[in-house]
Amino acid sequence: MLNRTFICSALIVLFHLVGLYGFLSPDLNQLFIMLVPFHLLLMLVLMIICTDDRSRNIYLFAFLIYTAGFLIEVIGVNTGLIFGQYTYGGALGIKLWETPLIIGVNWLILVYCTGVFLEQFKIRSRFFFSILGGLILLSLDFLIEPVAMRFDYWSWEDSLIPVQNYIAWFVFAAVLLWIFSLMEFKKENKAAIVLLFAQFAFFWILNKWTF
């Protein structure tokens, strides 16, 4: 009998493969761009299904990371003081204060998956854990940024990605991973590791095939 981890992992791979096909097909990419928020919500649901933890702490963690991720983007997009001057396009769906509501879900998924992956290595130092997590998400951001501009996730002033963005992304990601390391909840979820690697592969392939 297939277990839920296998099923969720298979669905993660399948939906990313289908997404690649859609994004790389000129006749379909506008449709698939519109589906991005629903894809992120589906990935969140799969993460929930694949964890056995239903404690107060994991819900508090999710609330904190979502809220922090959303608010940092609200401040960033409305002031330009954190990541630089950028604006969100239509790909990420409904906005509040010029910021897509789904962006907090994106931060939550990225931080959770990265944290679960790093937990496999039994790193004792929270500082080292956070720095490594920040570096992992920074490397993913290098892959995301060109794709984000190409497919209307967001755009940068003069189409130039500022160094400030990468510094802020690293620092903020490290802070969120530090919160992950502090909080006590079950941090085992093999599907989350599959999702992390699927995201790396997805954006790497899009970079190679669309530029």
pLDDT digits (tens, 9 = 90+) for 87-133: 999 999 999 999 999 999 999 999 999 999 999 999 999 999 999 99
Cβ-proximal residues to 25 (8 Å cutoff; 6+ apart), any chain? none
pLDDT digits (tens, 9 = 90+) for 124-177: 999 999 999 999 999 999 999 999 999 989 999 888 999 999 999 999 999 999
pLDDT digits (tens, 9 = 90+) for 176-194: 999 999 999 999 999 999 9
Q: How far apart are CA 101 and CA 71, in angstroms?
A: 10
Q: Nearest Cα to 50, choosing from 13, 6, 16?
A: 6
Cβ-proximal residues to 184 (8 Å cutoff; 6+ apart), any chain? 57
CA distance from start to end of the chain: 43
Burial 31-65 (b: 16+ CB within 10 A, else e): ebbebbbeebeebbebbeebbeeeeeebeebbebb
Q: Which two tokens stand for residue 45?
A: 């649901």
Q: How far apart are CA 32 and CA 91, in angstroms?
A: 9
Q: Hey, CA dihedral for 65, 70, 73, 74, is it positive or negative?
A: negative
pLDDT digits (tens, 9 = 90+) for 59-73: 999 999 999 999 999
Q: Which pLDDT band holds residue 52 (cuts at 50, 70, 90)?
A: confident
Counting residues of the chain whose pLDDT is more than 90, the rounded percentage is: 88
Task: Look at residue 54 in the predicted model and tell me its pLDDT.
Answer: 86
Task: Look at residue 1 in the predicted model and tell me its pLDDT.
Answer: 45
Cβ-proximal residues to 189 (8 Å cutoff; 6+ apart), any chain? 47, 50, 51, 112, 116
